[in-house]
Amino acid sequence: MSASSVIERVKTNLVSLKMPRALEILDVTLRGLERGEISALDAIDALLTEELTMRENRRIKMAVQMAKLSAIKTLAGFDFAFQPSLDKNRVLALAGLQFINRAEAVHLIGPPGTGKTHLSLALGVEAVKAGRSVYFSSLADIVASLAKAERDGALRERIRYYCRFALLIVDEIGYLPVTPGGGNLFFQLVNARYEKGAMILTSNRGFAEWGEIFGDSVVATALLDRLLHHAVVIQIEGSSYRLREHADLVPETIRHKTQATANPIPPTLKRRSRPPKDGGADHVDG
């Protein structure tokens, strides 16, 4: 067979094998081969690598969409210099995703604008890249979803749906009041995931205020009993990154107000130390 016939057959085979990226770069790769710029082995490697890279990018894109990640954030894009209270190494250690393997809860606590959501999204993206299933939602949306499922007689199925994911990210705890009965519904979800699936929770309020957030101190205590067992607690103290360019316009009393408590662990819960993990982030084992 002539060289042109072989090339056409290769192209046909690439189409049949559904390898569009390899087909796209085939001619360029063959020219490099003809000019002696690459070897035959390098040519094969280039075709396969490009195809696999495209497929992996497509997989990540689809997984990110399914995870409902509101934006694509990265740890590399986080300005650690703006938040000196954060130990960069501690946060980067979480990207190793061992907390998912251990079904731990990671708490990111701090005033609005300090990067809690950015970090949760970035860790979600890392989990997606590693092939772990992820779901991101605000607390308000999760409670609304559970309440609707309860009205429709499908609460168990909805909780089972949220339990499918290796990592559940719950954003904005404390920003909006939880509707009556919502705390109990959220507890049922947390209880179903307890020691089975990892969570990341972001909040602008300290744990001592959870009774106020959920409108029920008993429910709040039950939630914390599970969410502080095998937990990583990261406290962020600093100014709002979003307001950095207009800090002079923000009243002094608001600029320096820290809405999260200095000690996020409520005194009613016993705290026992255990060897640091994930680069030294605070762990709580109760």
pLDDT at residue 148 tops 70: yes
pLDDT at 234 over 90: yes
Cβ pair 278, 89 in contact under 8 A: no
pLDDT at 34: 93
Whole-number mean pLDDT of the chain?
86
Domain ranges, ordered by start, for the chain: 3-66, 68-284
The architecture of the domain spanning 68-284 is 3-Layer(aba) Sandwich (3.40)
> Per residue, what are the HEC states of 165-230?
CCEEEEEEECCCCCCCCHHHHHHHHHHHHCCCCEEEEEECCCHHHHHHHHCCHHHHHHHHHHHCCC
User: According to the model, what pLDDT value does residue 22 have?
Assistant: 96
Asked which of 113-117, 168-172, 271-275 is least confident by mean pLDDT, the reply is 271-275
Q: What is the pLDDT of residue 264?
A: 56
pLDDT in tens, 179-211: 999 999 999 999 999 999 999 999 999 999 999
47 or 237, which is more confident: 47
The string of pLDDT tens digits covering residues 23-82 is 999 999 999 999 999 999 999 999 999 999 999 989 988 888 888 887 788 999 998 888
Q: Which amino acid is at 162?
A: Y
Give the residue-averaged pLDDT of 82-107. Answer: 94
d(CA 92, CA 267) in angstroms, rounded, equals 29
Name the more confident of 240 and 3.
3
pLDDT at 265 over 90: no
One-letter amino acid for residue 52 of the chain: L
CA distance 58 to 69: 16
- Reply yes or no on whether the pLDDT at 127 is more than 70: yes
